[in-house]
Structures are given as structure tokens and as C-alpha cells.
Amino acid sequence: MIKGIKSFFGFISKMFKGKKHIKLGIYGPPNAGKSSIANMVVKDWLGEEMSTVSPIPHETREVVVKEKIHMKKKGKEITFNLVDTPGIATRIDYEDFLKFKMSAKDAKERAKEATKGVIESIKWLDDMDCVLVVLDSTQNPYNQVNITIIGNLAARDIPVLIVGNKIDLKKSDVKRIEAAFPQYPVIGISAEKRINVEAFYEEIFKLVR
């Protein structure tokens, strides 16, 4: 009987514990700027660093979580755990890393870790409460990885905000992203040059409720 009561309260406490901290995931293909956005958010609201960034694809090869990010703006407040995930790809070839003057041994190691990172990212999909899908706004948005990520989030009823990053670059085309995913809110930003950051935070307030 006592065991039953304990397990009931354990379940209730777990349920509320789970609800307390919303998980905001950052998903997208490699090199879209997921970690740059994660760093920007964490720096702006916690004054800390989160992930390392690099022009070499698959720099983030493990899921990184920053807990209790508290945002306060115009009387509104939200608290969430930010989850920066490795880029999802369908192909990983160590030879691609050799172009970045990496040794064969390091390239092979990076490729091996990158495959594990993709697996981890996919596994974490079920745990998210809402997601920022970060796309490189200079690239073709009709890439199957983007469609698969967004399709999976839709199938799980997870709210999505599409972030078209790198709008400071000449080839950037946020309208093309909007046309590709008309049923989702899309915001263009440049995490590196800090363009449209305030509007981005407004959208996060709408997403994390």
C-alpha cells in the first residue's frame, strides 16, 4: 500500500518536474549555424558560452544542454532548457573533412563521431517540447533533411519556428524558405552579425508558452 502511494507521488512529482522545464531544441542540417544561435541566446540571457563553432561541418557531435534560460521581455517571462543538437545528414564521408586540412586519422574519427551525433539528434526528437529548425538561408530549403526534420516534428505535434540564418550573406533568400514551408512561421536572422535578433526573441516568446 505504502509502496503504491510512494510510486503514485513519484509519478506526480515526475510529471510536474517534466513540465517545469520546457525543452527548446535546435535542429537542422550541418553548418546552418545552430551552435552560433545557441551561443547567441546563452550569451544574451545567461552571459555564458555554450557550444564551439567552426566552418568545418559536424563541429557539434554531441547533444549539448543549457539549463534554465530565463528570458524576460516587455512583462513576459519564459524559462526553458536549450538543447543544441548535432546536424542531421544522410551521408558522412571522412574524405570530406580532408578538404579542411585535417589528418586522415582525425577525419575518420570526426566522421565516426558525426554518425553517432546524427543518431543522438534523432533519438532526442521525442523529448522536445518545441523546436527551432535552423536553415542556412543561402542554401536550397527543399533539401530532404529539412523536410524529414520538419515532417517528424509535425508528426509529433511539436511546435516549430524555422530560422533562416546567415541573412547577412548576399545569396540569402528567406522568401524561398517561406515558400517551401508555408505552414510554419519563418524568421530570418544573422547570428554572427546580430541582425534581426530582437524579432527572433519575440518569436521565441510566441513559441515557448
Partner 1 sequence: MLTLQFIPHHEISGLDMNGKIQKILKSVKEDKIILIEGRLHAQEESELIRRTMEVIDKKFKGIEICTVDYQPRNMLLSEKIKKTLANLLLNKNSGMTIIGPATVVKEIKKDPNKVELFTLEKRGKR
Residue 7 engages partner 1 in binding (rule: CB under 8 A): no
Length of the chain counted residue by residue: 209
Residue 90 engages partner 1 in binding (rule: CB under 8 A): yes
The residue type at 87: G
Cα separation of 138 and 145, whole Å? 16
Cα separation of 37 and 190, whole Å? 9
Residue 116 engages partner 1 in binding (rule: CB under 8 A): yes
Rg (the chain; Cα; Å): 18
Q: Compute the C-alpha angle 82/84/90, nearest 5°.
A: 145
- Shortest reach from residue 201's CB to partner 1, in Å: 29
Site for partner 1 in 133-152 (CB under 8 A): 140, 142-145, 147-149, 151-152
Among 104, 154, 175, 194, interactor with partner 1 by CB under 8 A: 154
Window contacting partner 1 (CB under 8 A); options: 47-55, 86-94, 159-167, 185-193: 86-94
Residue 168 half-sphere exposure toward CB, CA atoms < 13 A? 9
The residue type at 193: K
- Shortest reach from residue 154's CB to partner 1, in Å: 7
Interface contacts to partner 1, rule CB under 8 A = 88-93, 111, 115-116, 118-119, 122-123, 125, 140, 142-145, 147-149, 151-152, 154-155, 179-180
